[in-house]
Amino acid sequence: MIMTELIEKKKNGGKLTREEINDIIDGYCKNGIPDYQMSALLMAICFRGMTEAETFYLTESMLNSGKALDLSSIPGIKCDKHSTGGVGDKTSLVLCPLVASLGVKVAKMSGRGLGFTGGTLDKLESIPGMRVNLTPSEFFETVKKVGMAIVGQSAELVPADKKLYALRDVTATVDSIPLIASSIMSKKLASGSDCILLDVKYGKGAFMPTKEKAEALAKEMVRIGEHFGKDTRAEITSMEQPLGFAIGNILEVEEAIDTLHGKGPKDFVDLILHSGTTMLLQSKLYDNAEKAKKALLANLENGKAYQVFKDFVKAQGGDVSYLDDPTKFPKALYSFPIKSLKSGYVKAIDALDLGLISMELGAGREKKEDVIDPTAGIVLAKKVGDVVSKGDLLMTLYTERANMRDLVSRALGDYEFSDTETTSLPVVEECIRMEGDDFIIEKD
Ligand code: URA
């Protein structure tokens, strides 16, 4: 294989064969292909795309770069979920323990922050002691004992995604349907679950700008999952404004803890109840959506979901005293409260720009070797639909970095106001699944 020829082929819109894709993934994992050539190929894929067959071969090859776990000896139906990424998206921290508290076994492989979006692994690692690099047998045992586990890609589990994910993060090669589909589905197939729920986000703070593109990505992933015999469903959800109030690692863990105590932001809780209901139906523990939702709500409020979260954090080495007393988490050195210069109703909040600001504050990586500041980020005080008076707090920026004051006026510009009443935005739009060869779209 001559890598420059394959880059050239893709650059000119050609189709890569299964063997070529296998050689590329194998060569990259064995360090035979340098990052600069892989980056060039990834950029060519971003511009030229891939056919359904190429995306499938890429997923298969990434999956085969490590081993797929066999969870069949754990009783019951195992379920996994994955989001395509958004701003303030801490869903897994609440949804996984919540459904596990009702008997779903959750075996989840997550990622780190990608571009302007945060990553579950970085959020979890902001809890002192927390380990996300479990061996396959530790992962298996934790799912069996606690009902859930969350790990990262490793030398054994989808090593190809571990390398490609880190490279895409810093080479502006994230927002491509075949690259996202293969990255997510290789992880979902490797973690060995029977059912997969995908949260495919669209809008300003997501990698898919429109609902149509999100639907195309969702269908690609559902098709791959079903091909491998997994019950795979995708929710299309809006990311036009950040999810919940908190953006940034420790800040999001704190919001997740509040939510697990029944005190979560409405848009975030709505999403969790929707996704949780789908997972309970997929796992066949419930056959009625209303009853499933009621049970989820009860376990958010009675502390059972929080207890599973604590058991999971403990099992993966985390110090649970931080969960019981979140004031123990370190705080950023600087905070900048931002007050409104206008009165009116919040019409829009630029999730993308707030994600980028959060990165500049220290919550994300610009280069592979960058270290994340877990205390950095933003906490919003107002969301779309809220009424605001001049002088009201809109948000607070948190950072350890000096000279960040310039971001204040930029962040202020991310709020748009209207003189007339606005309404809060619904999060879940529809759910896509397959029956035979057909896609079924259930509108919410
Ligand atoms: N999440 C992933 O795991 N991979 C992507 O490419 C995007 C979101």
What is the per-residue pLDDT across 331-355, written as a single tens digit (0 to 9) for each? 999 999 999 999 999 999 999 999 9
Q: How far is the CA of 86 from the centre of ligand 1 (A)?
A: 10
Helix pair 159-169, 35-48: axis angle to 10 deg: 80
Among the listed residues 210, 247, 252, the one whose alpha carbon sits nearest the alpha carbon of residue 349: 247
183 is catalytic: yes
Judge whether residue 379 has pLDDT over 90: yes
Give residue 336 CA to ligand 1 midpoint distance, Å: 31
* Dihedrals phi, psi of 83, to nearest 5 degrees: -105, 150
Residue pLDDT, tens place only, 362-373: 999 988 888 999
Atom of ligand 1 nearest to the CA of 111: 3
CB-based contact 340:394 (threshold 8 Å): yes
Instruction: Please answer whether residues 432 and 218 qualify as being in contact, where contact means their C-beta atoms are separated by less than 8 angstroms.
Output: yes
> How confident is residue 313, by pLDDT bands cut at 50, 70 and 90?
very high
Q: Find out whether the beta carbon of 265 lies less than 6 Å from any atom of ligand 1.
A: no
Q: E strands along 47-194, which residues?
A: 78-83, 105-109, 148-151
252 pLDDT more than 90: yes
Residue 29 sits at the vertex; the CA angle it makes with 24 and 30, to the nearest 5 degrees, is 100
83 in ligand 1 pocket by Cβ < 6 Å? no
Q: What is the mean pLDDT of residues 261-272?
A: 97
pTM exceeds 0.85, yes or no: yes
- In the chain, the percentage of residues whose pLDDT exceeds 70 is 100
CB-based contact 274:249 (threshold 8 Å): no
**Residue 168 annotated among the catalytic residues of the structure:** yes
Tell me the average pLDDT of the chain. Answer: 96
- Of ligand 1's listed atoms, the one at least distance from the Cα of 183 is 4
Q: Is 187 a catalytic residue?
A: yes
Q: Is 114 in the pocket of ligand 1 (CB under 6 A)?
A: yes
Is 211 a residue of the active site? no
